[in-house]
Amino acid sequence: MSGAGLMLDADWRARLAVRADVAPQVPRAPLRTADGAHTIGSLEAALAARLVDAGLLVADRSDDADRAHHPDGWRLSATRDADAALAAIAHWLHANRLGGRWRDELLGVFDMAGGGTTPIAVIERAAVRPLGIVTHAVHLVGRRASDGHVWVQQRALDKATDPGQWDTLMGGLVSARESIALTLARETWEEAGLRVAELTGVRAFGRITVRRPVTDGYMVEHLEMFEAHVPDALVPQNQDGEVERFECLPPAELRARLQTDSFTLEAALILATVLGDR
């Protein structure tokens, strides 16, 4: 997959890296499981106080006498198991018009220290950003087999996040108890109408983590990056209504468009990695 000579502006790449690692605008304290063994997210104090008042969280206080009255963070209620405690919080957030659009889609909840492959619990997708819960996404960069031109999609104009922005061929969140491979296959079909088995040269080329404030909270997302050749006879066709259109761009044009900031932050990071790692 040749990309020789494609050098992106160093200042632009530096600005992109800064945008991908932004501290919360309002301080956040850790959110832990009821037993305190796992840190699963983070919360602003004002929201945490409302959840405590609603009986959905408890303060996690230090043993230090000087900090006895100052929470070091927050814990899930021990009166419910983790799934039930997080479900109650998600429904409370929805009832109070906080968080994202309700999706009836469960995502896995992991220890923020990383390393685990089995979720500690699950939670409705709409609630993850207010709670600062880590999400996992899979992206696919697709190159046309004959000439190496890159397939990209324009996100639907009614998408809740980054409407109308340009993106990788496919990008989607990993659902609860779904493997990376299954997400890759499912999302490639739903967004692009392509079967992974029809592609060639499929390879993983790393992970990028994005940390930044978003409108409904704080985003911490691991992006699992994949690349593949798309046979010339195959043309992406959206299946789920979340894509406005597809284009297949020569690498030079892709480079130029990337630097106009018409792509999502996540897509820009991934495509810059592909164009810059040759």
Whether 84 and 183 share a structural domain: no
Average pLDDT, integer, range 38-44: 96
Percent of the chain whose predicted confidence (pLDDT) is above 70: 93
Confidence of residue 92 (pLDDT cuts 50, 70, 90): very high
User: Which amino acid type is present at position 11?
Assistant: D
Domain stop point among 66, 93, 127: 127
Please, what sign has the CA dihedral across residues 175, 197, 243, 217?
positive
Whether 260 and 147 share a structural domain: yes
Average pLDDT, integer, range 123-132: 97
In a domain, 65, yes or no: yes
Average pLDDT, integer, range 208-222: 95
In a domain, 4, yes or no: no
Average pLDDT, integer, range 135-151: 96
**CATH code of 139's domain:** 3.90.79.10
Whether 265 and 141 share a structural domain: yes
Domain stop point among 89, 111, 127: 127
Mean pLDDT computed over every residue of the chain: 91
pLDDT of residue 199: 98
Confidence of residue 246 (pLDDT cuts 50, 70, 90): very high
User: Which amino acid type is present at position 243?
Assistant: V
pLDDT of residue 62: 60
Whether 145 and 99 share a structural domain: no
Average pLDDT, integer, range 244-270: 95
Give pLDDT tens digits for 158-193. Answer: 988 899 999 999 999 999 989 999 999 999 999 999
- Cβ burial, residue 57 (10 Å; 0-12/13-18/19+): buried
**CATH code of 107's domain:** 3.30.750
pLDDT of residue 70: 59
Whether 104 and 187 share a structural domain: no
pLDDT of residue 86: 98
Range of the domain at 251: 10-22+135-276
Average pLDDT, integer, range 44-72: 79
pLDDT of residue 278: 42
b/e 60-89 (16+ beta carbons within 10 angstroms → b): beeeeeeeeeebebbbbbeeeebbebbbbb
pLDDT of residue 63: 58
Average pLDDT, integer, range 245-255: 95
Whether 262 and 153 share a structural domain: yes
b/e 227-263 (16+ beta carbons within 10 angstroms → b): bbbbeeebebebeeebbbebebbebeebbebbbeeeb
Least confident of 48-52, 57-61, 101-105, 179-183: 57-61
Confidence of residue 240 (pLDDT cuts 50, 70, 90): very high
Average pLDDT, integer, range 233-237: 97
